[in-house]
Amino acid sequence: MIEQSTVISESLAGKRIAVTGATGFVGTALVERLLRSVPDCELVLLVRDGKRTPASRRTKREILKNDAFDRLREQHGPDFDDAMAARITTVAGDVTRDGLGLNEADAATFASCQVIIHSAAAVSFDSPLDSAVEINLLGPSRIANLCNELGIRPHLVAVSTCYVAGNRRGNAPEALVSDGPFDIGLDWRHEVDASRRLRSDSDAASREPSQLQHFRSNARTELGAAGAPALAARTEQLRQRWVKDQLVDAGRARAASVGWPDAYAFTKALGEQALTDVKGDLPVSIVRPSIIESALAEPKPGWIRGFRMAEPVILSYARGLLREFPGVPEGTIDVIPVDIVVAAIITVAALGPEDAPAITQVASGGINPLKYRALVDNVSGWFTEHPIYDSKGQPIVVPEWRFPGRGRVQKQLTRAKSVLSKSERVLQNLPLRGRQAEWSAQLETKRSDVDRALTYVELYGLYTECEAIYQVDNLMATWDGLDEADQAAFNFDPRSVDWTTYITQIHLPSIVEHARVKTSPGASPAVNRMSRMRKQVLDPRRQVVAFDLENTLIASNVVESYSWLATRRLDTPERIRYVLRTLIEGPGLLKLDRADRTDFLRHFYRRYEGAPVEQIERDAHELLSQLIITKSFPEGIRRVRQHRALGHRTVLITGALSFAVEGLRPLFDEIIASEMSVRPDGTYSGEMATVPPTGEARAQLLADYCDAEGFVLEEAVAYADSTSDLPLFEAVGFPVAVNPETRLAAIARKRGWLVEHWSKANGGPRPRLPIGPLLSERQRRERFVGSGSNQ
């Protein structure tokens, strides 16, 4: 259905309108509404190039494919793409760069616009200070500077926020001085210089040797023996995160010191001041929304893009993760639906600088207030009637909401986080794997939940305790000046929102749908997700499948294999001495293995020095039947056969020595194992002939194999059990964690990888110690004892 023409739509008809921030929540809704409700207008979208995606493709993927455009898709049918291309021009630009980073041609396109709507912003309440300064503070003035440099005077509509008023109580009018922003009493240029210095200082501090060692240590704690490249990459990630955290803390501290709840509101206030200072003759109108939430009606009730401020808190409460949240029960939560904000922006743009107010606040608190207690009662009642279900299919009973002080909640959550963190560290140091290792992963999930709840309290607590009442005199004066047709077509009257209806029939159903939480009893979606992932792994389109051996296909390791071989020809007293020595060495070997798998193998395989090759090869046949096969996982062996039946190429990549796994060759298409050099006298040297296939070497071997055989690595599957296999997991398209150790269990849970729990068959031999069967005295005389053994 084609929208009816109104005075507002006719005022903008045929004009070229530039929009920044079109990939965001407000920007997407704004683009859709202009295209649907303003005939023949053309849009110029300033979109930043992605790391791998050019701006034009981002417009198609991130804007036009959004469900906000369903009505336009229905209207245009198969001609939708052509219709959008005829009315939209994308220019690659960035509001954090002077001149917006536009090339000459794009600058000319930008200069042809009669209206510029600037909605780009760093909207996160925990943005790093320097990022918020570059986008929120300098973004509007960069647009004004470019307009002045180009000699053009379009109408600039800048989207700000009501919270530029700071931490005030009582009435907060549009301006404390006539037709201007709040006089915040700060020099915005000094704040820009200070934030840039802070970025440089924080980066330099992060490179101090003691800090780098700290990041490296934390990376090793998290990833274990994942290999040098993985540890280096994680170390750099931790360093960059530390710098960001320093800048986030600095933003909060600076904002609080001068009376703002966070860096977002602080830099938005400075941005208004900077824009006023540099705009010159450029006509500017400022629109200040309060907290923007899901749509009341346009483009459809409940439409939302990403979660805003309230949704994470509401969903955490519904899941039972957040039992209380600070706030004043009689206080006002000033939220406004996004379509009301968009309608106000379009109206201000249509009226032009002559008729539009210099500043328009779009808020509900001063004219149709939503009280915090009313919000809580509606949320609690709705989730009592429509509960979320846990992974066991049981309804989660929402707690009775209390209204504690922010300090008390922060202390409680901080204590809980500390206890969970200490418990997590203890479990990570235990040799757990498989289902037992999931205890650690579950504990990490709980700690993350507490950490997230603490972040919500720190970020949003000030907003729920805010007692400012944002006045909308200019908004309502503009509303009263519209005729009935414009009011019907572009509703921006906050009084039109019935809060109970909006919360219970529009907003909550929408966010529950978008959150994809479990809303019915029965099997957990996680189980279904694992089944779906298993089908993907066993899809005939997969090409090559790599398997680790130890603790992936068998419940054994290189120490057991060596012990079995080394003790076959020892008498009982010698066996006892061997077992005692090995038990004493155990903790040191485990520590070395956790630190670096390759170093551990080189060190341990020295014990084979002097071992007769012929004897080892004879014994290896019995090793296969008496140890490896008896300790194998039947489900794992079946999985290998399933892959081969599907036509997948199966490759065993193991750090075990080649003679120990030679008997498994009929099961696999290829075997890549550790190789030991042989001396001229027919004994093993105890030295590796090649780099053991572990860690990053394992990933490179599979990549080389795929290249040589014409396979696509992204279509490969990998089965393994340890964080030392992270490089392999990250190289393939389909990682499968089998009986994962504690660190890998946590990583797999976080990244959503398929996890398999395989076990040995019931009824098989279960020797208490990994020693070979006692041989006759004649056979024992043939034992190998080399200088590298620990006899």
As a whole number of angstroms, the distance between CA 601 and CA 578 comes to 19
As a whole number of angstroms, the distance between CA 179 and CA 165 comes to 15
Q: For residue 547, what are the β-bridge partners?
A: 652, 719
Fold of 533-780: Rossmann fold (3.40.50)
Counting every residue, how long is the chain? Answer: 791
pLDDT digits (tens, 9 = 90+) for 547-602: 999 889 988 888 888 888 888 777 778 878 888 888 888 788 777 777 778 888 88
**Extents of the domains making up the chain:** 533-780
Query: What proportions of the chain, in percent to the nearest 5, are helix, strand and coil?
Result: 55, 10, 35
pLDDT, residue 677, reads 92
Could you tell me where the DSSP H helices lie in 516-661?
A: 525-537, 558-567, 572-595, 597-605, 613-623, 634-645, 658-661
Please give the average per-residue pLDDT across 61-68, as a whole number: 92
pLDDT, residue 742, reads 80
> In sequence order, what are the residues at sequence separation of 6 or more whose Cβ sits closer than 8 angstroms to the Cβ of residue 164?
181, 182, 265, 268, 269, 272, 288
Could you tell me where the DSSP H helices lie in 541-596?
A: 558-567, 572-595
Pairing of strands 42-47, 88-92: parallel
As given in the structure block, the two tokens for residue 735 are 């990682």
Q: For residue 554, what are the β-bridge partners?
A: 550, 632
- With tokens 């070497």, the residue in question is 697
- The phi and psi torsions of 371 (rounded to 5 degrees) equal -80, 145
Is the Cα torsion angle 352, 355, 360, 364 positive or negative in sign? negative
pLDDT, residue 423, reads 59
As a whole number of angstroms, the distance between CA 207 and CA 258 comes to 31
Q: For residue 88, what are the β-bridge partners?
A: 43
pLDDT, residue 487, reads 92
Pairing of strands 670-674, 676-678: unpaired
Task: Spell out a b/e string for 16-34, using b for 16 or more CB atoms within 10 Å of the CB, else e.
Answer: bbbbbbbbbbbbbbbbbbb
pLDDT, residue 464, reads 59
Q: Is 390's pLDDT higher than 90?
A: no
Q: Is 408's pLDDT higher than 80?
A: no
pLDDT, residue 16, reads 94
| CA nearest neighbour of 506 among 362, 337, 384 | 337
Q: Amino acid identity of 80?
A: F
| CA nearest neighbour of 697 among 726, 735, 671, 658 | 726
For residue 265, count other CB atoms closer than 10 A to its CB.
25
pLDDT, residue 787, reads 40
As a whole number of angstroms, the distance between CA 343 and CA 361 comes to 13
As a whole number of angstroms, the distance between CA 69 and CA 60 comes to 11
As a whole number of angstroms, the distance between CA 434 and CA 759 comes to 9
Could you tell me where the DSSP H helices lie in 279-335?
A: 310-318
pLDDT over 90 percentage in the chain: 48
